[in-house]
């Protein structure tokens, strides 16, 4: 498979969910399986790239021949991403980053209260990792994802502009047979000048198609 289209290119990919600690034993997270990001990492490696995978907590083994960095929180993921910037030509943000984290993380396990039936947690916004990377001085070619339930093109194009991305990969998560936690996905990819739809297929096959398109757009942008 297209073993040279990214030869020598340094690709950094974020994948999986993040975990935002409430106390030493509890956290806020989501159901991201990490499958799409891991499939992209393998496809990019097979295309000749030097790949670093910044992985949130997921149940997948580190793929062969890929440098893997394990992180937990969004802030850890941001720090790891920024540390890679000096050696990154293409940044692909496939992680499902928690939008908010608890304002405070308790040092000890929070005890159940006998006095009250409710407990309030104050949440604070997490940094936007892909927007921070795309706004950096040494800006890599930047690819983001968008999970939308309606009006996919409008929201995706808005996100492309707002986060200063080169490419956005949008999937319609109102469909339960694809996307989050599934082995299959169907997406539409948008960039400034055009767009391309990919019908339902395995995440492995889709990852190869996406790597082919990303490599094309990357070459067009850097030539």
Residues at the site binding ligand C5P, with contacts judged by CB under 6 A:
14, 74, 93, 95, 97, 126, 128-130, 144-146, 159
Q: How far is the CB of 145 from ligand C5P (least distance, A)?
A: 4
Q: Is 214 annotated as a binding residue?
A: no
Comparing C-alpha atoms, which of 164, 184, 163, 158 is closest to residue 172? 184
Distance between CA 210 and CA 204 in Å, rounded?
A: 10
Which is the catalytic residue, given 30, 171, 181, 185? 30
Q: What DSSP character marks residue 48?
A: T
Q: How far is the CB of 106 from ligand C5P (least distance, A)?
A: 23
Q: Is-catalytic flag, 30?
A: yes
Give the residue with the Cβ less far from ligand C5P, 34 or 144: 144
Give the residue with the Cβ less far from ligand C5P, 9 or 12: 12
Distance between CA 180 and CA 49 in Å, rounded?
A: 26
Q: Write the DSSP string, 167-221.
A: EEEEEETT-TTSSTT-SEEEEEEEESS-EEEEEEEEHHHHHHHHHHHHHHHHHHH
Comparing C-alpha atoms, which of 136, 133, 100, 95 is closest to residue 13? 95
Q: Is 198 annotated as a binding residue?
A: no
Q: Is 12 annotated as a binding residue?
A: no
Q: How far is the CB of 77 from ligand C5P (least distance, A)?
A: 8
Give the residue with the Cβ less far from ligand C5P, 24 or 135: 135
Q: Is 112 annotated as a binding residue?
A: no
Residues carrying an active site annotation? 30
Binding site for CTP, by residue number, is: 99, 109, 127-130, 145, 159, 163
């Amino acid at each position: 498979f297209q073993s040279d289209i990214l030869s020598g290119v340094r690709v950094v990919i974020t994948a999986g969910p993040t975990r935002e600690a409430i106390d030493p034993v509890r956290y806020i997270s989501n159901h991201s399986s990490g499958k799409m990001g891991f499939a992209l990492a393998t496809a990019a490696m097979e295309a000749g790239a030097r790949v670093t995978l910044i992985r949130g907590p997921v149940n997948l083994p580190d793929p062969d021949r890929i440098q893997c960095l394990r992180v937990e929180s969004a802030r850890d993921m941001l720090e790891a991403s920024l540390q890679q910037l000096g050696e990154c030509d293409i940044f692909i943000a496939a992680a499902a980053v928690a939008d908010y984290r608890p304002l405070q993380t308790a040092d000890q396990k929070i005890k159940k209260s006998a006095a009250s039936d409710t407990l309030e947690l104050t949440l604070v916004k997490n940094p936007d990792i892909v927007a921070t990377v795309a706004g950096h001085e040494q800006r890599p070619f930047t690819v983001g994802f968008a999970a939308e339930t309606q009006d996919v093109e409008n929201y995706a194009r808005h996100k492309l502009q707002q986060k200063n991305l080169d490419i956005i990969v949008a999937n319609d998560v109102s469909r339960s047979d694809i996307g989050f936690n599934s082995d299959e996905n169907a997406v539409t990819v948008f960039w400034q000048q055009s767009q391309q739809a990919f019908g339902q297929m395995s995440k492995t096959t889709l990852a190869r198609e996406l790597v082919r398109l990303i490599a094309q757009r990357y070459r067009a942008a850097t030539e």
